[in-house]
Amino acid sequence: MLEKLRLRLANPDAIVPLAILGLLVGLLAGAIIIAFRLLIQYLQSFYLPPGPEDYASVDVLFRLMLPTLGGLLIGLIFHFTPPADRYIGVVHVIERLTYFHGYLPLRNAVLQFFGATLSIASGHSVGREGPSVHLGAASGSLAGKWLHLPNNSIRTLVACGIAAAIGASFNTPLAGVIFAMEVVMMEYTIGSFTPVILASFSATMLSREVYGTAPAFMVPALEMGSVHELPVLFATAIAVGLVAASFTALLHYFSRLMTDTPIWFRMALGGLITGLCAVSIPQIMGVSYGVVNDTLLGQVPLWLMLSILVLKLLATAAGLGMGLPGGLIGPSMVLGAMVGGSVGLTVSTLFPGEMSSHGFYAMLGMGAMMGATLQAPLAALMALLELTANPNILLPAMLTVIVSGLISKELVGGKSVYLILLEARGLTFRHNPLAQSLHHIGVASVMNRNFTASERFTTREALHRLMKQSPQWVVIKEENKPQALLPGADLALYLEEESSNEEEEQIDLMEIPAARQKLTPVPRHVTLWEALDMLDKAKSNASYITREDSSGVGIYGILTRKDIEATYRYSD
Of 215, 236, 262, the position where a domain reaches its end is 215
Find the radius of gyration of the CA atoms of the chain: 29
Distance CA 272, CA 70 (A): 9
Domain housing 72: 2-215
pLDDT tens-digit readout, 77-125: 999 999 889 999 999 998 888 888 889 999 999 999 999 999 999 999 9
Q: What is the mean pLDDT of residues 127-146?
A: 93
Reduced to 3 states, what is the DSSP secondary structure of residue 148?
A: coil
Please check the confidence at residue 552 and state whether its pLDDT lies above 60.
Answer: no
**198 assigned to some structural domain:** yes
Across 73-77, 125-129, 272-276, 412-416, least confident range: 412-416
Asked which of 113-117, 151-155, 415-419, 546-550 is least confident by mean pLDDT, the reply is 546-550
Residues 287 and 197 in one domain: no
**To which H or E segment does residue 559 belong?**
strand 557-560
Bridge-based pairing state of the strands 481-487 and 507-508: unpaired
Any domain includes 497? yes
**Is residue 260 located within the same domain as residue 322?**
yes
Which residue among 376, 402, 424 closes a domain?
Answer: 424
**Cα 379 to Cα 184: distance, rounded to the nearest angstrom:** 11
Q: Give the separation between CA 323 and CA 274, rounded to whole angstroms.
A: 13
Q: Are residues 337 and 444 in the same domain?
A: no
Is 220 inside a domain boundary? Answer: no
Q: What is the mean pLDDT of residues 240-248?
A: 94
Distance CA 101, CA 435 (A): 12
Q: For residue 455, list its beta bridge partners.
A: 477
User: Are residues 373 and 286 part of one domain?
Assistant: yes
Residues 241 and 341 in one domain: yes
**Using CA atoms, how far apart are residues 289 and 166, in angstroms rounded to an integer?**
16
**Predicted confidence (pLDDT) at residue 37 exceeds the cutoff of 80:** yes
State residue 481's pLDDT score.
84
Q: What is the distance between the alpha carbons of residues 524 and 514, in angstroms, rounded to a whole number? A: 28
CATH number of the structural domain spanning residue 526:
3.10.580.10
Residues 178, 382 contacting (CB under 8 angstroms): yes
Are 512 and 494 in contact by the 8 Å Cβ rule? The answer is: yes
Q: Do strands 517-523 and 507-508 pair parallel, antiparallel, or not at all (unpaired)?
A: unpaired
Please check whether residue 99 lies inside any domain of the structure. yes
Mean pLDDT of the 539-566 span: 78
Q: Which of 68-72, 321-325, 364-368, 391-395 has the lowest mean pLDDT?
A: 391-395
Residues 373, 270: contact at Cβ < 8 Å? no
Together in a domain, 99 and 179: yes
Q: Which amino acid is at 73?
A: L
344, 346, 327: which is closest to 336 by C-alpha?
344
Question: Within this chain, do residues 407 and 474 fall inside the same structural domain, yes or no?
Answer: no
Residues 402 and 278 in one domain: yes
Q: Same structural domain for residues 391 and 533?
A: no
- At which of 184, 215, 246 does a domain end? 215
Domain check: are 14 and 50 in the same one? yes
Most confidently modeled range among 28-37, 497-506, 518-527: 28-37
Q: Is residue 244 part of a domain?
A: yes
- Identify the band that residue 70 occupies on the pLDDT scale cut at 50, 70 and 90: very high
Query: Is 432 a member of any domain?
Result: no
Residue 188 and residue 318 share a domain? no
Residue 473's Cβ-side half-sphere holds a number of Cα atoms within 13 Å equal to 24
User: What is the rounded distance in angstroms from the CA atom of residue 164 to the CA atom of residue 177?
Assistant: 8
The residues, ordered by sequence, that sit 6+ positions from 107 with a Cβ below 8 Å of its Cβ are 81, 82, 85
**Within a domain: 431:** no
DSSP state of 112: H
User: Going by C-beta distance under 8 Å and a sequence separation of 6 or more, which residues neighbour residue 397?
Assistant: 363, 364, 367, 368, 380, 381, 384
The yes-or-no verdict on residue 571 having pLDDT over 60 is no
Query: Looking at residue 420, which CATH number applies to its domain?
Result: 1.10.3080.10
Give residue-wise pLDDT tens across range 424-474.
777 766 666 667 777 778 888 888 888 888 888 888 888 888 888 888 888
Given a contact cutoff of 8 angstroms between Cβ atoms, the answer to whether 487 and 514 are in contact is yes
Q: Are 123 and 285 in contact (CB under 8 A)?
A: yes
Q: Is the dihedral of CA 467, 469, 475, 480 positive or negative?
A: negative
Does some domain include residue 472? yes
| Contacts of 443 by beta carbon, 8 Å cutoff, 6+ apart | 10, 150, 522, 524, 526, 527, 528, 531, 545, 559
Number of domains in the chain: 3
User: Are the C-beta atoms of residues 5 and 179 closer than 8 Å to each other?
Assistant: no
Confidence of residue 49 (pLDDT cuts 50, 70, 90): confident
Domain identity same for 403 and 449: no
Q: Could you give the CA distance from residue 507 to residue 380 in angstroms, rounded to a whole number?
A: 68
